[in-house]
């Protein structure tokens, strides 16, 4: 699996942006990626030093539109913590 296949997109939300001050960044990742693969991908793509990776499987939610019932897609979220001496990820800095 290539590094860009593991990291799908950054998660931009009010909650995830609060972690940027503590060098915690949130990404949507491939469902079959493990913590070691995620750590290596973030270090290779952004050139930073990762200390810790937490992963969460986000369950699908049931949604309704009138009589029709469907589900949102299930996905995997990774919260990556960088070391104190590591540089910040520039993409998130523009959002603040």
Task: Report helix, strand or coil for 91.
Answer: helix
> For residue 8, which of 81, 79, 82, 77 has the smallest C-alpha distance?
77
Domain edges within the chain? 3-84
More confident site: 74 or 2? 74
Q: Is 3-84 in CATH node 3.30.70.330? A: yes
Q: How far, rounded to the nearest angstrom, does the alpha carbon of residue 94 sit from its chain's CA centroid?
A: 17
pTM value is 0.88
Residue 90 burial (CB count, 10 A): 8
d(CA 46, CA 38): 12
Cβ proximity of 21 and 95 under 8 Å: no
pLDDT digits (tens, 9 = 90+) for 7-37: 999 999 999 999 888 999 999 999 999 999 9
């Amino acid at each position: 699996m290539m590094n860009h296949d593991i990291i799908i997109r950054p998660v931009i939300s009010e909650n995830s942006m609060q972690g940027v001050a503590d060098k915690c960044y949130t990404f949507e990742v491939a469902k079959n990626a493990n913590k070691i693969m995620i750590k290596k991908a973030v270090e290779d793509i952004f050139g930073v030093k990762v200390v810790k990776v937490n992963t969460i499987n986000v369950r699908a939610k049931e949604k309704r539109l009138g009589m029709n019932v469907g589900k949102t897609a299930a996905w995997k979220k990774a919260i990556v913590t960088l070391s104190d001496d590591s540089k910040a990820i520039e993409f998130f800095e523009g959002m603040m």
